[in-house]
Structure 1
Amino acid sequence: MPSTTEPKLIAGNSNLPLAEAISRRMSMHRGVNVNLLNARVERFNDGEIFVEVFENVRGEDMFLIQSTSNPANDNLMELLIIADAMKRSSARRTTAVIPYFGYARQDRRTKARTPISAKLVANMIMGAGIERVLTMDLHAAQIQGFFDIPVDNLYASPIFALDIEAQFKGQMDDLMIVSPDVGGVARARELAKRINAPLSIVDKRREKPGEVAEMTVIGDVTGKTCIIVDDICDTAGTLCKAAEVLLEAGAAEVHSYISHGVLSGPAVERVTNSVMKSLVITDSIAPTQPVLAAPNIRILPTAPLFARAILNIWDGTSVSSLFDTESLAPAYEGVL
């Protein structure tokens, strides 16, 4: 049942610009102000996180917006502590809106005596009183099964499809979607189907983590405008190397569309100096100043997507309708 009042939003410190943009979009949809809850989230001198909410939330449908990006542990603790504050303040339901779900890459045991940290994080989130999770492009879809509560996993591919159609108008027949590894083929194929483009794969072999020993292009990319699609770009080493290999294989130019721009360490410098024409990321992670200043990095907004999804959850309508490019297009009219 929907709340008797408007949905209530509260945000941690991980990505306040996105939370504020979601608030503005929801206000536009509702025709009334849907503001972020008046609260303070701060730290004591020893680093402990303290939360105080200045508005009544008893019986309210709360949406807690917080990416668990760098610093992942601090942002995760903020999420858990705010959730506990909502539970102890008698909120009717708290939905965690996690645009970027940290620890998602630790979704299985890759070798002996290693943890499955994504499952541990799921247990902590449920233990804090979260009753529903809304996220985007989980690194591994099976993480939804780590939760015993509903999990709505949105996709960036409809946004990417809309942007590609706008940016490459008149060149659609020359496009080739590329998966940077075999594990990402399903994600790349999904976008390829949306824009009716062929699919290629860059097969990589690693000698040890973080180092790529060899790359091979599977498929004919000669004369094609290649678009690499992936969910996470961290240090950008693999991405930049894949772009070089594609050009060596005869591609005309290379662009990349990545859901979550982690972009740690030397990533921005690598992208800036790479042969890629452009790297397109979403704002699921708050961009740093170097990212904003990079000439070949562009950021797509996710606020229209999340605002619509939050409203659909609040009034009990379908979230999966947002998986379709055509259904999402009205929300992005005038944005892309």
Structure 2
Amino acid sequence: MTRLHYVGNQLSTFTELQSATPDNYSIGNSDFLSNTSLQGELILFDAACVDQFGLQNCKHFVQLAKSAGIPVIMVWSDSADHQLLAIDCGCADYLCSPFHRSILLSKAKIHRQLASTDHLFTEQQQLLENARSSYREELLSVQEAIILSMSALARIKDHSTGDHILRTQYYVKALAERLRYHPDFAEELDDDQVIDLLYKTASLHDIGKVAIPDKILQKPDKLSAAEYEIMKQHPRYGFQALCTAESLLRKPTETATNFFRIGRQVTLSHHEHWDGSGYPEGLCGNQIPIVARIMAVADVYDAIVSRRPYKNAHPHSLAVNQIVAGKGTLFDPVVVDAFTELADTFEKISVLMDGQFPHLSDLTLQNIEDLITQSR
């Protein structure tokens, strides 16, 4: 049985509506101020409530009913024409005396069906949004896995470990979060998506090293001048790789475009120096992209505190002192200030992330075969 509900205090109107109520329908009633006014499958709202309780209160009531999925029809039994008032209140329809059973039945059926359709549409929209959200999460997970795979490929040829990938990501994110409200950085960094993309692209900063000969990358001694010139090309190689990858995308999204933009900046310019003495382009000061200035500090800090085959790990305090000494020459002074404020955080990251990335020495030929078998 379909339940109609009259809201108002005009007894004559309610009595007439009772008489016009179709078979298989029931009708209840309550005062506008009653806690039970929002009920039934269709509300018959008396126009007299507007004079008694005000237009804004009535509009609010109708909106609450809509939110609850209950259509509202304005009714009246006086001689006035309240059609415009019904529209102002946001009602779905109106009905005036004399109330005819057939008309009331027709309007009730139409607006119940519309409400049902609207509810179904809302449910479908929510299901679609949930599916999109799930798809986005899966896509982001795959994207991150591919990024780390590319980064790991660079580390296979380099002396530095995979832990360097993870640590620099966290260093960069910590610096970006600290700098996002600084007036010189807010325009670019005061955006969660930009910081997230910087975090992800940080792991690609040395991807160009895959193009550097092994005899140079893995040389345990100091590089010769000629070898160093070859090594200095790795930012260009990484930049070229990302440009090529972007060009292969048929319909790049805004997120993909931003990812490659930040990735190119990080990859090409993280060895530039504030005073112009860096490479590969000799940029100086604000010519250096913000994300590359942040990456430069993170990369140098981790290089100092990490053990490599050709050097031992140096203490955190030495790394801090060297970065502070490079303020205004090697590094952006503002980034260095943020680094000194976060020095304890850097030290914690370097300890917590140690050993989190599988080391190549752990992958013998035997257990590589085991991993391949397990993946089938």
Question: What TM-score does the superposition give when structure 1 sets the normalisation length?
Answer: 0.26
Considering fraction of residues, name the structure with more helix: 2
Greater C-alpha radius of gyration: 2
Considering fraction of residues, name the structure with more strand: 1
